[in-house]
Each structure stands twice: as structure tokens, then as C-alpha cells.
């Protein structure tokens, strides 16, 4: 749920900060919403730390989640010191059982808020300065193999669910284009060009940056099949231009797409235990596209960077480490005894 729907439950200065991040800094909606939930956790801790410190030692996750933050003030945040926020990081690890990546993200959100407050002269000093992130192990992205991807598509189009043609198009675009969830949901009819002369799709990425991706025949066929059954809605509908629609003739939500893909993946991996199934989700399909392009088609990493809409090459380099397939092939075909001596 968007932070905009929670404004009555939040302090005004928090609402202003989130609007600044979303509309002035052009932050992505999903990123801003994530920041809201991160800061909600911080505000709950601050409230307990300052006014009911003893409860921090005994509070449960369920009790912590219902603490209201509307009465947390800028002065409360200003009272926190670096050592107090170090206690916050420990609370995240021990009581809330957040992993190192989650803790680092929440620390980054806190740093950004305190920086905003300091720059706007709302607090005298920033206690998050020089706070270090926790060490994290580099995680390789979870992805589907080529055969699993084909099976997923086959299962989807051959299913008996009501919206299988739409769901097939969604899955096909994910696997072939490597989109983020927010990017897929945000596709408009006006972003498509699938006539005989050009087959492209305009993607609205992070920070309102656009990129153009080229579509192969299979993706175009999936989209065209869906357009034939897509509900006909009038221009008076605010979601008239949305490519993918829900049963209520609204732009399909991110949550709905997550459920669709989760159900498809659960069927594909029906033999896996529940913990293993949890590793696969919509972002696994985004990871699948560049992984297969790199492994199966030898696509250059700079091309992958452009396809995925990454700002830095570092974010793309992880796909060169996903599999040892190339290394295995290279070393198995190299034999020093077969090499002729160079003179």
C-alpha cells in the first residue's frame, strides 16, 4: 500500500519527507513506499526507547507492529544519539530478526531522513553520520533454467485459470525482457509498437528513466493474443491506457502480479519444500532473462546493462558469476598436451 494512503497515521514531517523523495527527487513509488515502512520501524523504536525503554527487552514482533507513530516528533528524533541508533541496529537483528541486508536498507533510510532534517535545519546534528553498514555475503540471484522457463510458459498457457492469456503475456514479458515488477505493471498501450516495421516496448524505469527494448516474435504474439481478449474500456476510465488490466478494469496491481507468478512457480516447483519455493518470485523472472542471455547467447555485459536499465555496471556483473557453465566448458576443452609449442 502506498505511503500516500497512510498519511493520516504519520507525522506531517515524515509525509513531507516522503513526498520530497517521491516527487522532487523523482524516487520510484516502490522505493518510497519501502522507505516509509523502514522509517515506521525506526519511529516505533524511538518511541519505545525514549518513553518505555524497559519494554524493548520483552516486546514481541506482533506487539511492535501495532505501535502507532503519529505522535513521534522531530524533537524525539533529535534526542537520539549514535549509540542509541546502534542499539536500534541490534534491536533489528535480535528482536525483529532482520538479516544484514534488511538492516543495511533500514539504516540507509534513517540516514536519508536525518540528512533531510539536518539540511532543512530541523535538527542540530545528524547522529547517523559515519554509522557503518553490516557485512553481507554476496548472494547470487535465484533464476530459472532454460528448460524450467519453457515449462513455466507451457504450464501457464495450458492452465484452466480464467485469465491465462493475460497471465501468459505477463510471464512471457518477464522472462524475455527482464523487467522489474513496477516496470511491467506500468506498461501502457502507447508504449507498444508491434507492427511489421518495428517491434518495441518503452519501459519507464527507476527515476523516470526510459529505455526501449526490442521484442521477439514470441513476445509479440503473446501480447497480440492478450489484446484480442483485453476488456474494452472507454477513455473515461483513468486506466484506459494501461496494458494489463484486472477483473475490475483497473491497471493490474503489483500485488496481483506477485500472486499470479507465485501460483505459477508453485506449480512448476510442486516437488520442492515450502522454504525452497519461497526463493522464487517475480524478481526471479527478472534475473532469469539476463542469466540466460549471458549463458546461452553470449550477450555482452554492457548490452545486459542497457536491457536491465542498470545505472552502474557493478549491478550487472553479478550475472557473470551466476553459473560456472562457461568456465566448465572452457577448462574441459583445454588440454595442455594438445597445445602446440609456439616458437
Q: Is 283 a catalytic residue?
A: yes
Q: What is residue 343's predicted lDDT score, i.e. its pLDDT?
A: 45
pLDDT tens readout for residues 179-207 = 999 999 999 999 999 877 789 999 998 87
318 or 128, greater pLDDT? 128
**Residue 334 banded pLDDT, cuts 50, 70, 90:** low
Mean pLDDT along residues 149-155:
95
Long-range residue pairs from 57-61, CB within 8 A, at least 24 positions apart, any chain: 59/95, 61/95, 61/96, 61/97
Out of 103, 106, 286, 305, pick the active-site residue.
286
Mean pLDDT, to the nearest integer, of 10-37? 90
Does residue 70 carry a pLDDT above 90? yes
Q: For residue 316, which of 296, 287, 273, 340 has the smallest C-alpha distance?
A: 287
255 is catalytic: no
Distance in angstroms (rounded) separating the CA atoms of residues 304 and 178: 10
Q: Among the options 82, 202, 206, 262, which is catalytic? A: 206
| Average pLDDT, rounded, for the chain | 88
- Give Cα 28 distance to the centre of its chain: 11
Top pLDDT among 132 and 69 is at: 69
319 an active-site residue?
yes
> For this structure, is 286 an active site residue?
yes
Exposure letters 247-263 (e unless 16+ CB within 10 A, then b)? eeeebbebebbeebbee
Residues 6+ away with beta carbon under 8 Å from 260: 167, 170, 171
- Residue 170 and residue 165: Cα distance in Å, rounded? 9
Superfamily the domain 146-326 falls into: Intergrase catalytic core (1.10.443.10)
Torsion angles phi and psi, residue 209, rounded to 5: -85, 135
* Residue 162 falls in the annotated catalytic set: no
Is the pLDDT score of 337 beyond 60?
no
Task: Kindly tell me if the per-residue pLDDT of 139 is higher than 90.
Answer: no
The whole-number pLDDT of residue 333 equals: 62
Catalytic residue at 105?
no
pLDDT the model gives residue 16: 94
Computed on alpha carbons and rounded to an integer, the radius of gyration of the chain in Å comes to: 24
For 216-266, the pLDDT digits (tens) are 999 999 999 999 999 999 999 999 999 999 999 999 999 999 999 999 999
Query: What percentage of the chain exceeds 70 in pLDDT?
Result: 91
List 36, 226, 294, 319, catalytic entry:
319
pLDDT at residue 324, as a whole number: 52
Residue intervals of the chain classified under CATH 1.10.443.10 are 146-326
Q: Sort strands 192-194 and 210-214 into parallel, antiparallel or unpaired.
A: unpaired
pLDDT grade for 291, boundaries at 50, 70 and 90 = confident
Give the torsion sign (CA, 64, 69, 74, 76).
Answer: negative
Which of 163, 166, 180, 251 is the catalytic position? Answer: 180
Does 25 score more than 90 pLDDT? no
Q: Which of 6, 19, 211, 283 is catalytic?
A: 283
When pLDDT is averaged across residues 337-343 and rounded to a whole number, the result is 51
Overall average pLDDT of the 132-147 stretch:
77
Amino acid at each position: 500500500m502506498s505511503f500516500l494512503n497512510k498519511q493520516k497515521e504519520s507525522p506531517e514531517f515524515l509525509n513531507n519527507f516522503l513526498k520530497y523523495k517521491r516527487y522532487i527527487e523523482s524516487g520510484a513509488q516502490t522505493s518510497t513506499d519501502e522507505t516509509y515502512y523502514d522509517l515506521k520501524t525506526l519511529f516505533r523504536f524511538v518511541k519505545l526507547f525514549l518513553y518505555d525503554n524497559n519494554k524493548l527487552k520483552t516486546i514481541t514482533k506482533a506487539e511492535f507492529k501495532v505501535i502507532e507513530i503519529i505522535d513521534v516528533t522531530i524533537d524525539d528524533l533529535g534526542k537520539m544519539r549514535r549509540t542509541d541508533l546502534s542499539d536500534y541496529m541490534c534491536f533489528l537483528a535480535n528482536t525483529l530478526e532482520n538479516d544484514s541486508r534488511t538492516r543495511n536498507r533500514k539504516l540507509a533510510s534513517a540516514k536519508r531522513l536525518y540528512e533531510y532534517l539536518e539540511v532543512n535545519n530541523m535538527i542540530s546534528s545528524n547522529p547517523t553520520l559515519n554509522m557503518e553498514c553490516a557485512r553481507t555475503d554476496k548472494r547470487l540471484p535465484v533464476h530459472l533454467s532454460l528448460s524450467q522457463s519453457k515449462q513455466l510458459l507451457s504450464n501457464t498457457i495450458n492452465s484452466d485459470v480464467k485469465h491465462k492469456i493475460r497471465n501468459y503475456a505477463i510471464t512471457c514479458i518477464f522472462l524475455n525482457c527482464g523487467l522489474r515488477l513496477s516496470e511491467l505493471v506500468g506498461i501502457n498501450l502507447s508504449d507498444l509498437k508491434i507492427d511489421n516495421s518495428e517491434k518495441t516496448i518503452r519501459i519507464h524505469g527507476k527515476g523516470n528513466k526510459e529505455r526501449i527494448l526490442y521484442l521477439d516474435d514470441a513476445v509479440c504474439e503473446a501480447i497480440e493474443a492478450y489484446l484480442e481478449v483485453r476488456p474494452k474500456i472507454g477513455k473515461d476510465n483513468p486506466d484506459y491506457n494501461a496494458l494489463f488490466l484486472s477483473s475490475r478494469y483497473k491497471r493490474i496491481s503489483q500485488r496481483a502480479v506477485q500472486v499470479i507468478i507465485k501460483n505459477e512457480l508453485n506449480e512448476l516447483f510442486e516437488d520442492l519444500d515450502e522454504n525452497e519455493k519461497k526463493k522464487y518470485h517475480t524478481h526471479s523472472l527478472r534475473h532469469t532473462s539476463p542469466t540466460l542471455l549471458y549463458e546461452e547467447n553470449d550477450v555482452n555485459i554492457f548490452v545486459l546493462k542497457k536491457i536491465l536499465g542498470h545505472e552502474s555496471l557493478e549491478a550487472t556483473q553479478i550475472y557473470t558469476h551466476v553459473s560456472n557453465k562457461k568456465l566448465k566448458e572452457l577448462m574441459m576443452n583445454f588440454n595442455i598436451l594438445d597445445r602446440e609449442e609456439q616458437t
